[in-house]
């Protein structure tokens, strides 16, 4: 189990992370979300042992994770970290990058392991391709596979699918998160993308102002967002009578106290997102059809 106990970290005098505490069980997936600059990437680096803490402790099982003051070489064998900069070897092949730190003593096992990981990240056809010729998304997949090669106990992923196009992203997520769960590998992911979280994460932390603003399962945080920041992660929302109401929770009715004037309709695939005016404030709701501008509509919140 990963135990983070009241950690505080500062680059200089101003804390980037302040009094953070949480736990991650073996095989669990914790999502870390927050606005840019909230400390998500810094937290991953702290958990890796890249920085020395001002206060608090981090343990993985019985091992305390310590920073460069205590370790000549940063990091631990049981933790793997995939940064937004992939740190690959550009002049060797995809397969060679993935198997770079696997023993050559068991050549057949190494070959099978590399082949398995190539399949997980859907790069089998590129096994012999030099990394320097790959796209950003392909390089990101190589970095994921290489991090998994030596079967870590815990993996830290910083925006792991950010460079990967939508044609590959959905299936790749399923492959990677299913593999991690099957192998009982703990996973901590810093992300801006709710699709990295919903359906996969066991728990979720929301960072804001250097602290944990919310902490629960994604389902509970989605159903009962306590702050606008939490709600904004999951989709369009409104503040009506001091309550957070998602756009999909507003329904058109024949008559109500909520009379709005339609300003824009945005096609979103199976629905339209409607922007309307409610007493000088913007409000958003969903409709199965496009609505003509300046149409008066009555709405009701169904939560």
pLDDT tens track for 237-288:
999 999 999 999 999 999 999 999 999 999 999 999 999 999 999 999 999 9
Residue 100 pLDDT:
87
Residue 92 pLDDT:
92
Q: pLDDT band at residue 147, thresholds of 50, 70 and 90?
A: very high
* Rounded mean pLDDT, 226-243: 94
Residue 87 has pLDDT above 90, yes or no: no
Residue 165 has pLDDT above 90, yes or no: no
* Rounded mean pLDDT, 15-31: 96
Residue 86 has pLDDT above 90, yes or no: no
| Mean predicted lDDT score pLDDT of the chain | 94
17, β-bridge pairs: 9
Residue 303 pLDDT:
77
Residue 84 pLDDT:
80
Assess if CATH 2.40.50.140 describes domain 236-301: yes
pTM for the model = 0.91
Residue 101 has pLDDT above 90, yes or no: no
Distance CA 56, CA 42 (A): 15
Residue 49 has pLDDT above 80, yes or no: yes
* Rounded mean pLDDT, 63-75: 91
Residue 71 has pLDDT above 90, yes or no: no
Residue 185 pLDDT:
97
Percent with pLDDT over 90 in the chain: 84
What are the residue boundaries of the structural domains of the chain, listed by start? 2-223, 236-301
30, β-bridge pairs: 188, 203
On whether the CB atoms of residues 146 and 100 are closer than 8 A, the answer is: yes
Residue 188 pLDDT:
98
Residue 178 pLDDT:
95
Residue 231 pLDDT:
96
Topology classification of domain 2-223: Rossmann fold (3.40.50)
Cβ-based neighbours of 300, under 8 Å, separated by 6 or more: 250, 251, 252, 253, 256, 258
């Amino acid at each position: 189990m990963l135990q983070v106990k009241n950690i505080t970290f500062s680059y200089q005098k101003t804390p980037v992370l302040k009094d953070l505490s949480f736990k991650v069980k073996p095989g669990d997936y914790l999502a870390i979300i927050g606005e840019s600059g909230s400390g998500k990437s810094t937290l991953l680096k702290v958990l890796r042992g890249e920085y020395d803490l001002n206060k608090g402790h981090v343990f993985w099982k019985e091992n305390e994770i310590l920073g460069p003051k205590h370790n000549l070489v940063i990091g631990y064998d049981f933790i793997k970290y995939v940064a937004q900069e992939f740190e690959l070897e550009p002049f060797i092949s995809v397969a060679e990058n993935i198997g770079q730190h696997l023993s050559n003593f068991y050549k057949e096992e190494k070959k099978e392991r590399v082949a398995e990981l190539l399949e997980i990240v859907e790069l089998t056809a590129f096994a012999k391709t030099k990394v320097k010729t790959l796209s950003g998304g392909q390089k990101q997949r190589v970095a994921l596979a290489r991090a998994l090669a030596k079967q870590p106990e815990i993996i830290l992923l910083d925006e792991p699918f950010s460079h990967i196009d939508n044609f590959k992203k959905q299936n790749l997520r399923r492959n990677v998160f299913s593999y991690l769960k099957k192998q009982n590998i703990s996973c901590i992911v810093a992300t801006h993308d709710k699709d990295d979280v919903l359906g996969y994460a066991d728990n979720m932390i929301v960072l804001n102002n250097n602290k944990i603003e919310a902490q629960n399962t994604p389902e509970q945080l989605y159903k009962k967002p306590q702050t606008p920041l939490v709600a904004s992660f999951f989709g369009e929302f409104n503040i009506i009578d001091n309550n957070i109401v998602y756009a999909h929770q507003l329904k058109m009715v024949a008559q109500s106290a909520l009379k709005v004037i339609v300003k824009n309709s945005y096609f979103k695939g199976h629905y339209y997102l409607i922007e309307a005016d409610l007493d000088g404030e913007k409000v958003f709701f969903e409709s199965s059809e496009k609505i003509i501008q300046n149409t008066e509509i009555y709405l009701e919140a169904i939560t």
